[in-house]
Amino acid sequence: MKINLSFLILTIAFIFGCSQGPKPINYGTDICSMCRMKIMDNKFGAEVVTYKGKIYKFDSDECLIAYLNTGTLKPEQKGQFIVTDYAHPGNLIDAEKAFYLQSEKVPSPMGANISSYLIKEDAEKINAENGNAGVIVGWEAIQQLRNKK
């Protein structure tokens, strides 16, 4: 069986070119899928990457959570939930494994004062630097805290 080399190269390029992972947030350019504001602060930002690879970007964790609460994203569409590591601006991390600091001393773009961290010690350090005024929780708990707002 003879395979057309051009066809094979195009197929491989297509497969690897259609990445289904998160994409870097273009701060100052990308628009929040929830509140429609420009995503400006590189200490914040979030993404939903659907199972099929469609990406929705958000300017804050609270906009991501608000979007999830709308029910627009169906369970069968779920792929990845991504947030920005406050301690390492611009770095995207798995939202479901992140630690969240909710503290009025660490304001966030939409006012719920939620910041996310890959490492719990980073959240503890930022909280301590701000008088231990906040609470550190995981993914399930931050959704509940936000739902009370």
Tell me the per-residue pLDDT of 128-138, one tens digit each, with 9 for 90 and over: 999 999 999 99
Three-state SS at 106: coil
C-alpha closest to that of 112 among 63, 45, 48: 63
Give the tens place of pLDDT for each residue, 96-143: 999 999 999 999 999 999 999 999 999 999 999 999 999 999 999 988
Q: What is the pLDDT of residue 3?
A: 52
Q: What is the pLDDT of residue 146?
A: 58
Quote the CA–CA distance of 116 and 140 in Å, as a whole number: 13
**What are the residue boundaries of the structural domains of the chain, listed by start?**
21-148
The model's pTM is: 0.82
> Residue 81 gets which letter from DSSP?
E
C-alpha closest to that of 114 among 79, 138, 80: 138
Calculate helix-pair angle for 61-69, 139-148, nearest 10 degrees: 80
